[in-house]
Amino acid sequence: MGHRGKLLAAAIALVVAAGCGLTGHDKGTAAAPPSVDPVGASSTPSEEPTSADLSAESPSPTPSRTTTKPKPKATEPTAPPFWSQLPACAHYDKTTPVAKGKVKAALKSAAGRVYWQTEAPTLKLNYPLVKAIAWQESGWKSNIHNCDGGAGIMQVMPATVEMINQRFGLTYDPSKYQDNAYVGANYLAWLTKWASYNYFNNSYDLSAGKCKSHTSWCLLNVVISGYNAGQGGIEAAAATKTLPNPEYVAAVRALMTRCQCDQY
């Protein structure tokens, strides 16, 4: 075979080989490209958190509620008892102070009496009122004397004792602690009768519920005020219905509900 014949035979052989796919480029049997996992299909956890993860790690803040605390009710000023800072003109006598338990028993007895058996049998005092005034006046000290002549646990004045004894035919001795309690309570009953007749249509209701505040013009406040300021002090204040000593009234009213004396 000549040289040109050999070249022709070689060319034909190459064409046949290509048709049989020997070179590896046959489209029918082409190798598949490397597989690529779609986003999120991989079995390996994604490093980027999902929306569910975000909501778990960073919960949406709950709208805060502004809580407004109620302002505490203003406390009315009170008058300190004179015995807490005893003035130079006041003194203790040489008698032995009566035990607080005995004083309490005397005050309870005095508060439970009916002092107007005929004219006002429904007029009754109450123990909280009597014990509070006694504590404010003397701290339940039976042997204490004030500058103005007030003496004993109820700090009764000599003129008050004389008025009560003469008016009711009694013989109270304020140096005796039981009599001192009875004189003081009797004077409270007299103030209640007098004030109710003049200012409160003969009502003897001494309940705190009848008073809007410690300074209002009500029977309880007027009786407390009168024990300290006297009948004249109440008469002078009646025109304006302004208590002459609201601090004293506030102090006694506070002691009626909470008093150191309650421990005895």
Which two three-digit tokens encode residue 263? 């421990």
Please compute the mean of the pLDDT values over residues 98-120 and round it to a whole number. Answer: 96
What pLDDT was estimated at residue 78?
80
Query: With bands split at pLDDT 50, 70 and 90, how would you rate the model's confidence at 25?
Result: very low
Q: pLDDT for 191-248, tens place per residue? A: 999 999 999 999 999 999 999 999 999 999 999 999 999 999 999 999 999 999 999 9
Cβ neighbours of residue 191 closer than 8 Å, sequence gap 6 or more: 222, 223, 226, 227, 231
Helices then strands, each counted (H, E), the chain: 8, 2
How distant, in Å, are the alpha carbons of 90, 101, 130 from that of 84?
12, 20, 19
Percent residues over pLDDT 90 in the chain: 66
Q: Which helix (H) or strand (E) holds 198?
A: helix 177-199
Please compute the mean of the pLDDT values over residues 55-60 and round it to a whole number. Answer: 45
Please compute the mean of the pLDDT values over residues 91-119 and round it to a whole number. Answer: 96
Q: Among 188, 193, 187, which residue's Cα sits nearest to residue 119?
A: 193
* Between 3 and 195, the higher pLDDT residue: 195
Please compute the mean of the pLDDT values over residues 1-27 and round it to a whole number. Answer: 43
Q: Among 165, 204, 203, which residue's Cα sits nearest to residue 186?
A: 165
The mean predicted confidence, pLDDT, of the chain is 80
pLDDT at 84 over 90: no
Which two three-digit tokens encode residue 41? 């299909």
Q: Is the pTM of this model over 0.75?
A: no
C-alpha to C-alpha distance for 185 and 110, rounded to whole angstroms:
6
What pLDDT was estimated at residue 68?
54
* Between 109 and 10, the higher pLDDT residue: 109
pLDDT at 40 over 50: no
pLDDT at 73 over 90: no
What pLDDT was estimated at residue 37?
38
pLDDT at 51 over 60: no
Query: With bands split at pLDDT 50, 70 and 90, how would you rate the model's confidence at 81?
Result: confident
pLDDT at 257 over 90: yes
Q: Where are the domains of the chain?
A: 101-136+176-259
How distant, in Å, are the alpha carbons of 6, 164, 209, 250 from that of 220?
143, 21, 9, 11
What pLDDT was estimated at residue 69?
53
Q: pLDDT for 117-161, tens place per residue? A: 999 999 999 999 999 999 999 999 999 999 999 999 999 999 999
C-alpha to C-alpha distance for 154 and 157, rounded to whole angstroms:
9
